[in-house]
Amino acid sequence: MSNFHAVRVSDIIRETPDCVSIGFGIPKNLAKEFEYKAGQHVIVRKILGDEDVRRTYSFCSAPSSGHRRIAVRHVEGGAFSTFANTKLKVGDTLEISTPIGEFTLPTDARTSSNYVAFAVGSGITPIMAMIREVLTREPNSHFFLYYGNRDAEHTIFAEQLAHMKNLHMERFSYQFFMTRQVVDIPFFNGRITGDKASILHQNVFSKINIDEYYLCGPLSMIDGVREALVNAGETAENIHSELFFAGADSERANKRSALDGLAKSKVTVISDGRKIEVDYRDEHGSILEATLKSGIDVSFACKGGVCATCRAKVTEGKVDMALNYGLEPEEIEAGFVLTCQSIPLTKTVTISFDE
């Protein structure tokens, strides 16, 4: 189960017309629990209407700054991002989980590393934490950022990036790609693509020894750039990525019918050391929904197969997972599934959230 704490919103900054950044005032007694690594995120929980809304947001602040700050870009029709951009006020309380996530850049003051990041839109948030942390904590390291947006007005942290470049001319550089505003150099017009990443690799990255690559943005950018880098000879283990949203596919699990699995099944859920029997019916759509409907408070956030918060291990029976953008192949091999994307394939299934 996620470990939530009620924390006060200490300040809100309007970063762009469609994005606010939110500072949290973490009480001293929780400071240790809220220590984080650059790139990690929290689950924010808010009851909106009668819905228990939980969404994941990456810290954009540097861990060493002592601040805990997220940035939320408004998504059309989005439950939490609309609330955060229009109604949330300084002094309000939000429930947030302790920091989680494997998309991290661990720093070491003795190293002199070269980092490259590709970010699109709100994908800049974890990257921002990484840039800040590297520039502060690794005096001999360099950071190269490639950042895609529709135009200058909607570019989150544009001024802060310019400020950081002024302070660290030799160690930090960035290039903006724009889809709806013409920029001086034609190469930077339009989206970040695998082809552009190949050209950058040939002309820039191959001439420097790049230690780690970080990608955060839409699936098409992540897949395209990753493939280009691997084809150019980069090691897959040095290319790290985080996806915020999987697109229309992510709703697939909830639309599956009984034809995909069984109309009924007995699911034994192990959570916090307890064993509880859950009656799964096909209208539940996923094992996660059946579990939540039966009143068991297990961890979840995106319900879209992306964040892996709903990960659990199948210890008996079989399930079918509609899609997966959150689990590594080794985890699947070990029997883990995303419960928000899984339905039972056998009359009994046992699934453990405690592994």
Ligand X SMILES: Cc1cc2nc3c(=O)[nH]c(=O)nc-3n(C[C@H](O)[C@H](O)[C@H](O)COP(=O)(O)OP(=O)(O)OC[C@H]3O[C@@H](n4cnc5c(N)ncnc54)[C@H](O)[C@@H]3O)c2cc1C
| Residue whose C-alpha is closest to residue 245's, from 269, 220, 225 | 220
Which DSSP symbol is given to 50? T
The smaller minimum CB distance to ligand X, of residues 99 and 344, is found at 99
Q: Is 77 in the site for ligand X (CB under 6 A)?
A: yes
Angle, CA of 79, 293 and 55, to the nearest 5°? 30
Phi, psi of 313 (to 5 degrees): -105, 130
Residues in CB range of 271: below 8 A, 6 or more apart: 1, 291, 296, 298, 352, 353, 354
The interface mask with ligand FES, positions 5-34, x = CB under 6 A, is ------------------------------
Binding mask 316-345 for ligand FES (x = CB under 6 A): ----------x-----------x-x-----
Contacts of residue 149, defined as CB under 8 A and 6 or more positions apart, other chains included, come to 120, 121, 155, 156, 176, 177, 178, 179
Q: Is 41 in the site for ligand X (CB under 6 A)?
A: yes
Residue that is written with structure tokens 């950022």 in the block: 145
Nearest to 40 by CA among 111, 120, 127: 127
300 binds ligand FES (CB under 6 A): yes
Pick from 19, 303, 319, 351 the residue near ligand FES by CB under 6 A. 303
Nearest one of 258, 270, 247 to 339, comparing CA atoms? 270
Closest C-alpha to 242, from 284, 185, 302: 302
Which one of 166-174, 178-186, 231-239, 301-309 is the stretch in contact with ligand FES (CB under 6 A)? 301-309
Instruction: Using the minimum distance from each CB to ligand FES, give the nearer residue, 156 or 308.
Output: 308
Out of 222, 307, 343, 351, point to the residue binding ligand X (CB under 6 A).
307
Q: Per CB under 6 A, does 308 bind ligand FES?
A: yes
Tokens of 248: 């229309």
Which region, judged by CB under 6 A, interacts with ligand X, from 240-248, 287-295, 312-320, 332-340? Answer: 240-248
Check binding of 132 to ligand X (CB under 6 A). no
Question: Measured from the CB atom, is 63 or 304 closer to ligand FES?
Answer: 304
Residues that bind ligand X in the complex, under the rule CB under 6 A = 41, 55-58, 70-73, 75, 77-82, 122, 125, 242, 244-245, 302, 306-307
Residues that bind ligand FES in the complex, under the rule CB under 6 A = 300-310, 326, 338, 340
